[in-house]
Every structure is written in C-alpha cells, then in structure tokens.
Amino acid sequence: MSRRFLFVLGSARAEGNTELLARRAAEQLPDEVEQRWIDLSEQPLPDFEDLRHDSDHVRPSSDTPLGLLLDATLAATDIVIASPVYWYSVSAQTKRFLDHWSGWLRIPGLDFKARMAGRTLWGVAALADEELSVADPYAGTLRNSAAYLEMRFGGVLLGSGSKPGDVLNDTGALTRAKTFFAEEAPLARFPHETAHAA
Ligand SMILES: Cc1cc2nc3c(=O)[nH]c(=O)nc-3n(C[C@H](O)[C@H](O)[C@H](O)COP(=O)(O)O)c2cc1C
C-alpha cells in the first residue's frame, strides 16, 4: 500500500526548530510517499467541547479547520506530530488536536478507532534542553495514545535548540533524522503491557 504522511505542525512560531527537523527527516522519504503538511496555527481549531456523554458528536464540515484536519487524518497512513516540547509535553495547539480525536471517536458511523488501528503515529520535537530524557512525558503521551487506538508507534525524533535554527547545530539529531522514518514502527504498547515481557 502506498504511504501517505500527514505532518501536523504544532509550534507557536513559524519555521522553528521542530519544523526544520521534521523537514530534514521527511527529505529522506521516497518520492512515491505522499506528504501533506498542515500548520495548526494556520488552521486554528476550536476548543474541544466534551459532549461524549450528552449527545453524539457531529462530523465537522470539510470547509472548517476541524473538518480539514479530520479528513487529512483519515486519509493518512502515517501521522507525524511535529510539536515542540512545551512544559515537557506537546504544545497546547497539538493537545487540542489530540483532544478532538476523543470527539471523533464518538461520531456515529465514522469508526474512527477501527480506522486508525494499524496506522502509524510518529513524533518530531525540538526542545531547549540537551538532556533528551526530559521529554519522556512527551513520548509517553504519543506512545500511550497510539496504544489506545491500536496504532503503530515510530517513536519520537528529538533535537535540541532554543532559538529558530539552533537544531541545525545538533549533529546527532540530524543524523537520526536521516533514518528516522525508515525504522520499524511496532504496534504501540502501554508500559504495563511490556513490563513483564523481558
Ligand atoms: C511555552 C514553552 C514551553 C517550553 N517548555 C520547554 C520544556 O519543557 N523543556 C525544554 O527543554 N524546552 C522547552 N521550551 C523551549 C522550546 O522547546 C524550544 O525553544 C524549541 O526549540 C521550540 O521549538 P520550535 O522552534 O519548533 O518552536 C519551551 C518553550 C516554550 C515557548
């Protein structure tokens, strides 16, 4: 099956380190792999309203930012969350996008969960810290979300940098970017599911 990558940019500034790193990784994708890039700051999503236990969620119209994101998500085989690390997790824009997935799970006839199963979630992130393990909560958010939806998880490509362009000095990140999307993406598992596997 031909792959279609959706890159969801979640920074609060344009052309920042996260996008630079994501574009370096995306350059390595074969030509036949489709790429679509959506910047959440250009498609501002409404606050998520939790109607799950009151009424059905309605499918958003395709001419709204939310409908555009839903259509693009459903069309992708691979979803790349390209959010900087903000307070050790994803940005608010990105989190709002993920919150809307909870509404999409409740749209009658959409079968969002079944349709996401088997697709692959990836993360790309810049952070100011040089100690990459501080981004463990970020990686955990994406890994657990993928596990909940029975998706594959390709991990998170991390690069260090504070001001825009800094990440291009992180030679380790640039090296990892070259092979990131070529790595195997196993079915995501919650930590408690793998704790006893070793
Ligand atoms: C609101 C906010 C929160 C941040 N939180 C963290 C953090 O928890 N850890 C960290 O190392 N860097 C943090 N940073 C620094 C950014 O991750 C860093 O500047 C990164 O390069 C921004 O990515 P961008 O250029 O793609 O926007 C934060 C920056 C902002 C604006």
H helices present in 31-170, as ranges: 65-75, 92-104, 112-116, 136-148
Closest CA to 6 of 90, 57, 89, 68: 68
| 91 φ, ψ (degrees, to nearest 5) | -70, 160
Q: What is the mean pLDDT of residues 50-61?
A: 88
How many CB atoms sit inside 10 A of residue 31's CB?
5
Q: What confidence category does residue 198 fall into, taking pLDDT thresholds of 50, 70 and 90? A: low
**Residue 56, pLDDT score:** 80
Per residue in 3-19, pLDDT (tens digit) is 999 999 999 999 999 99
**Residue 52, pLDDT score:** 84
**Does residue 86 line the site of ligand 1, with CB under 6 A?**
yes
**Does residue 164 line the site of ligand 1, with CB under 6 A?**
yes
β strands within 20-66, DSSP E: 34-39
Centre of ligand 1 from the C-alpha of residue 150, in Å: 29
Q: What is the mean pLDDT of residues 143-159?
A: 98
**Does residue 154 line the site of ligand 1, with CB under 6 A?**
no
DSSP string covering 87-111, please? TTB--HHHHHHHHHHHHHTTSTTT-
The CATH code for residues 4-194 is 3.40.50.360
For residue 87, give the ligand 1 atom closest to its CA.
Answer: 8
Percent of the chain with pLDDT over 90: 92
Best of 86, 89, 162 to mutate for ligand 1, by most ligand atoms within 8 A of CB? 86
**Residue 132, pLDDT score:** 97
**Does residue 171 line the site of ligand 1, with CB under 6 A?**
no
**Residue 195, pLDDT score:** 79
| 81 φ, ψ (degrees, to nearest 5) | -85, 110
For residue 20, give the ligand 1 atom closest to its CA.
Answer: 26
For residue 162, give the ligand 1 atom closest to its CA.
Answer: 19
User: Cβ(157)–Cβ(2) under 8 Å?
Assistant: no
Rounded distance, CA 7 to CA 85, Å?
A: 16
**Does residue 162 line the site of ligand 1, with CB under 6 A?**
yes
Domain boundaries, the chain: 4-194
**Residue 54, pLDDT score:** 87
Q: Are strands 152-160 and 120-127 parallel, antiparallel or unpaired?
A: parallel
Give the amino acid at 137: P
Best of 87, 133, 158 to mutate for ligand 1, by most ligand atoms within 8 A of CB? 87
SS3 state of residue 69: helix
Residue 65, both tokens:
């930012």
Residue 149, both tokens:
């939806």
Give the amino acid at 87: W
Q: What is the mean pLDDT of residues 140-156?
A: 98
Is the overall model pTM greater than 0.75, yes or no?
yes
Q: What is the mean pLDDT of residues 38-45?
A: 98
DSSP state of 28: T
